[in-house]
Structures are given as C-alpha cells and as structure tokens.
Structure 1
C-alpha cells in the first residue's frame, strides 16, 4: 500500500516550465522585459559582467522575450552608448530573423541582413564579448543556400563536415572553455543545412565530447544529436525497433554515462535545465534508474518540452509530453527508493 500511495503522489507531481530555469535573478527580470521595460535587464547584465556562460544564457533568454516588445529599442534610444544595449539589439534581431525563418515568412532575407549588421556592429563595439559571434553562428542556419562564405569552411580535423568553423573559432578565442550555445548552434547548422546531415551532427557532437572536460555542458551534445536522429526517423515513419532501444545499447549508453559522470552535480544559474532533462531521459531509457533519479532530484520541479515531446505517445499534444516527464520521473524515483529501502527485520518466533 505504501508503494502504491508513494507512486500516486509522484504521479500527481506538477512540473514547472520557465525559460529562466535555475537563474532566479533572470526570472524576476523577464517579467519586466515582457512588459517592454528594460532597466532591470540593463542592471542584470551589468552584474553579470564577463561571466561568459552566464552572459550567453541570459542574453539568449532575454532576447526571446524582448523580440516581442520594443524594450531594447527603447533602451538604445535612451542609452545609445551602452554596449550591453548594442549586444541585446543584435540578440533580438537574430531572434526575429530565426522566428521568420522557422515560419517561412517572406521578410526573412531583410531580417537576416539587419541582424547580421547588428551582430557585426556589436562585435566591433565589444571585441572581447563572445555573444555577437554566437549570434552570427545562429544566423548560419538561415543561409540554406550558403551565400555567405563564412558558413562553409573546412574543419581543422578529418572526418568532420564543413561548416561555420571560423565563427566557432571566434567564439572560442573569447570563451575558451567551450561556449554551450555556440556548439549547439553548430549542431543546428549541420541538421538544417541541405549539404550536411544529422549523421554529421552526431560526428560533431562525439568529437566535442571527446575532449570536453568534466563539468562541461558539451558532454551533453551527443544526447541531443541522437535524439534528433530518433525524432526524424519517427517523424518520417522510418523508425525501427533498434532505434527504440538505442539508449540501452552502445554507443549511446556510453555517451549517456559519460555525460552523467562528467556532470559535477553543481547547479549554477547558467546550468541548462534542457541539458538535465535530456540527461535524465537518456539515463532512464538506458535503464540507469538510480543515476536518472539523481538528475530528477537535481531538477526539482523544472521540466522542458523536449525531449519528452519527441518520445511521448502524442508528440503534437503538449499534455502528452508533460505526462511522459511525470511518468518517467515517478518510475525512476520509485525504483530508487525501493532499492535503497532497508529490508524489514524479522523477529524470531516466540517459543
């Protein structure tokens, strides 16, 4: 009875979906930005300083919210010399171009050119900042015809595909520890470009993980690449039984274990909630329930739409993805508690 009640309680769990994730300071600022206010965002970026991982994640989330308002335009009109405002203008311009590209809008070419100019201006104004170069990397996926030579450069190592390697190098010169968003933008390019493929994205992710140090978010990259491969086969109706079981077989289980053992368990404001959701899924699907439970415990109530929408019963139904997250979390936590619960003590019968 206790196990049944415990499982029912876990399945009643209500996850939290929020773009700020573990970044409590950012959470408070986002509400202002969504209302078109910019003062709190300015102060937040001043406090962020040259913490490039945090600056990259914060400007990305802020831009997604600011793209639907005129907050950054108002900021620039009030403080035209603010370098943070210039960088945020580039961020917002790129976000609007990417949204237009995904929606197939006719304005995408104009928005892409405007975004590129904003990025180049920001790179000139703040030469030490990796964010403008991350923005240029993000724009590479819009260039499906490879009109820009920067988007088709030979890699520095064999067995890797051509792509915007020089832009990635520019980010690395400024953020040498391995900028999470920059590497994800490279993978998105390989998945989107008609001259490359998901297999190229997998090779790129495996290469990055091969040298990423412990604690680096780059160790999570193969989990994204293999999930993208799985999803495309499912979407196209070409999924086979082996792909259903890929997370419990080599090489995927090797990468899931490597990502988990490279994760230091430390939660910082820049820690990606999406990364931990992908890691929790990969460990669960690979029957590593104890390790998956540790990730779910670290996540607390935070969930993301992906990867659960790719593996749930009805990918087009948001509630189906929520149910999948809750079900998997409950299974991992229940299994772990059952295994770690001490065995009952048996009393000797009275004579």
Structure 2
C-alpha cells in the first residue's frame, strides 16, 4: 500500500534522519481540511518566534544580531537545539569564517561554524546509501567533517562545560567512521554535561543501528535501558519507538508490517508512550512535537489507531521531517494520510 511504502535503498534516510535523528515542525492555524482538522505544515522554528528570528539572521549572515542572541541562551540543551536548527541554514558556512576572525576570543561563532560543517558535509554526501555516493561527494564529505572536528574540539577545549560541541562531535565521529570507542567516549562526554540529553541519546541510538555497524539487539537494549533508567515522564521513552521504526525500516515488505503489529512490539510502544509522552509528568519541552510525530507514526503503522489519533490530535497539524521521511514521498503528505486514516 502506498501509505506504508518506505523509501527505496537508493533514497533511504541515511542523510537527514541518519544525521540528526531529529525533526522540525510547528503548530499552525493556516487553514483546515475538509475533515475540519488543521492543515499540516512544516516549519523549522516549531512555532518558536525567537528561533524563527535567529534562523532569519543566520540566513542573512547577521552575526551582529545573532551573536548576542545566542550568548543570551543559558540553558545547554536549548542552545544545542537552536544550533541544530541553525546548522541546517544554507549559506551559513559562507560567513562564519569572518565572524570567527572578527571575534577570535568568542567560541560561539566557531561552534556555529563547526555545527554547520557537520550538516554541510551530509549535504555533500546526499541522502543516498553509501554505494550510490560518488568519489567527489565522499571527498567533500570528509573534508567538511575534518573542518568540523577541528573547530568543535577547539570549542570543547575553550569551553569544557559546554554540551553542544560533544553533541555534534558524535555525528562527525559516525560520519568519519572513527570507531566504537570514539563514538562511546563522545556520547559519555555529552552525558557528563547533561545526563538526560535526549538528542545525544538519539545520536547514540543511531550509532548502534545495524546500518551504522551496530545491531538490532544493541539498539533495542540501549533504548529500553535508557528509558527504564530515567524517571517516568522522561522524554527518553521516544528512543523505544525510534528503535522499532529503525527495525521496521530494515525489514522486507510484509515482514515490516507483521513486525510492528506483533503483540510484543505493540506492548513496548504502549509502555514507552505511557512512560513518556502520555505520562502526566511529561514536560513537553521545546521541540516536543518531534516525539509526538515519532509515536504517532509508530502507532499508525502498528494499526493502533486510537492511540495514534490521540497523538495526532495533540499535534494539531505540526509535522516534523523525521520520522515521516522514512516513508516514500513528502513528509506532510505522509503525516496527513496517516492522521486521516486514524481519525475517528
């Protein structure tokens, strides 16, 4: 069925989703469908007007305005979240060198440059599977990752308490195939600075995926152990749903649907949702829409339509690229199709 058709191997999501394991979207009131529901929309700012302004400043190369705005962000996870979004803005690499030269004592422009070079590296590599990446694309990929590594390590040395460089260094380590020990060290370095950092846990989950040299068993064990070690209401329950989607993605047609609809997987999805997004203590941090999209897609594919409907209703049209880009076609269209099939 088209509704469940995954991307082909040639267009599999090793790019954006394999890089970040994150997605962006926003709540919108841009219009309603014939069903009376809000029309789904993607927006990198997730309805955050401060972030929207920063994205515009980054696109314009306005470091004079963007620099003080970033410096005012005191929370380490919030700064990392913003930098993830800024790193996706095309053209940032064209002006960050000037910002670094103008303020050599400030680690922030160097951090933004390093983060952008990680994203820019994956743009050179493209979303394709490794076998379909050209020699020139690989060359650019590794050149940009090398620059990212140099800059991010310099930031880490200058600002040893900062979380953000260690988050991005996890991604560059995976791209550069630096090995399991390096990947684990960088993940642990991030957790020493923020033990419950969801985004870093997502990067570790990616590292443990079979497609990146891990295994399904390692991936599932990590996801479940992380969830159970955290208090109920923790965002880390999303890891369990992501792991099941990664396993689903790796299965042959027919086997994938049977896997997600199996009683054991359905039970684990419900347990993870009850311990995270559906728990009364779940904080709905900024960017919470990403977790809701993850669970909504997983429950829809698992034919658990009632629970999926609850999540779609809470999202109110807020779409994130990931995990909908695991399906063939446009993420907004995929979101809409699954939301509509789960409507009461």
TM range (shorter): 0.7 to 0.9
Query: How far apart, CA to CA, are the structure 2 residues paired with 1:264 and 1:330?
Result: 29
Name which of 29, 42, 47 aligns with 2:67: 42
Structure 1 position 17, deviation (Å): 0.4
> Within the alignment, does 1:169 sit opposite 2:197 as a pair?
no
Q: How far apart in 1 are the matches of 2:125 and 2:219? A: 20
Q: Which runs of no fewer than 5 residues in structure 2 stay unpaired?
A: 1-31, 128-132
Kindly state the Cα deviation for residue 263 of structure 1 after the two structures are TM-superposed. 6.4
Shift of 1:330: 4.0
* Contact in 2 for aligned 1:10/1:326 (Cα 8 Å): no
Partner of 2:151: 118
SS in 2 for 1:48: coil
Q: Evaluate the alpha carbon distance shift between residue 182 and residue 97 of structure 1 in structure 2; reply closer, same or farther with a 3 A threshold.
A: same
Gaps of 5+ in 1: 1-5, 154-162, 336-351
Structure with more relative contact order (C-alpha pairs < 8 Å, separation 6 or more): 2
Aligned-residue RMSD, C-alpha: 2.8
SS of the residue 2:36 aligns to: helix
TM-superposed deviation, 1:200:
2.2
CA distance in 1, matches of 2:172, 2:122: 7
Q: Please identify the structure whose Cα radius of gyration is greater.
A: 1
**Equivalent residue for 1:304, pick from 311, 317, 320:** 320
Find the counterpart in structure 2 of residue 15 from structure 1. Answer: 40
Higher mean Cα deviation, 101-110 or 206-215?
A: 101-110
1:194–1:286 distance in 2 versus 1, CA, 3 Å = closer
In structure 2, the CA distance between the partners of 1:26 and 1:246, relative to structure 1 (3 Å rule), is farther
Deviates more, 1:248-257 or 1:180-189: 248-257
Partner in structure 2 of residue 201 of structure 1: 219
The equivalences for 1:189-338 within 5 A come to: 189-191=207-209, 195-234=213-252, 237=253, 239-246=255-262, 249-262=266-279, 264=281, 266-268=283-285, 270-285=286-301, 291-311=307-327, 315=328, 317-318=329-330, 321-332=331-342, 334-335=343-344
In the alignment, the residues of structure 2 paired with residue 291 and residue 194 of structure 1 have an alpha-carbon distance, to the nearest angstrom, of: 31
Evaluate the alpha carbon distance shift between residue 192 and residue 243 of structure 1 in structure 2; reply closer, same or farther with a 3 A threshold. closer
| 8 Å CA contact retained: 2:59, 2:91 | no
CA contact (8 A) 2:261 2:303 kept: no
Q: Among residues 84, 92, 114, which one is paired with 2:108 in the alignment?
A: 84
1:8-54 CA-to-partner distances (Å, cap 9, x unmatched) read 3336x4212012214221012212212332233213212212x1121
Q: Structure 2-normalised TM-score?
A: 0.77
Which of 121, 125, 129 pairs up with 1:97? 121
Q: 1:96 to 1:303 in 2, by over 3 A?
A: same
Preserved CA contact (<8 Å) 1:280 1:292: yes
The answer on 1:185 being equivalent to 2:185 is: no
- 2-side partners of 1:330 and 1:7: how far apart? 10
CA contact (8 A) 1:265 1:298 kept: no
The number of residue pairs the alignment matches comes to: 303
**Distance in 1 between residues matched to 2:259 and 2:302, nearest whole Å:** 12
1:21–1:272 Cα contact (<8 Å) kept? no
- Give the 3-state SS of the residue equivalent to 1:168 in structure 2: helix
Q: Identify the residue that residue 29 of structure 2 maps to in structure 1.
A: none
Structure-1 separation of matches of 2:49 and 2:297: 25
- The range that moved more, 167-176 or 72-81, is 72-81
TM-score normalised according to structure 1 size: 0.76
Q: Secondary structure of the residue that 1:310 maps to in structure 2?
A: coil
1:36-95: CA deviation from partner (whole Å, max 9, x where unpaired): 32233213212212x112111101111111555523223223222222112212211222
Aligned residue number for residue 56 of structure 2: 31
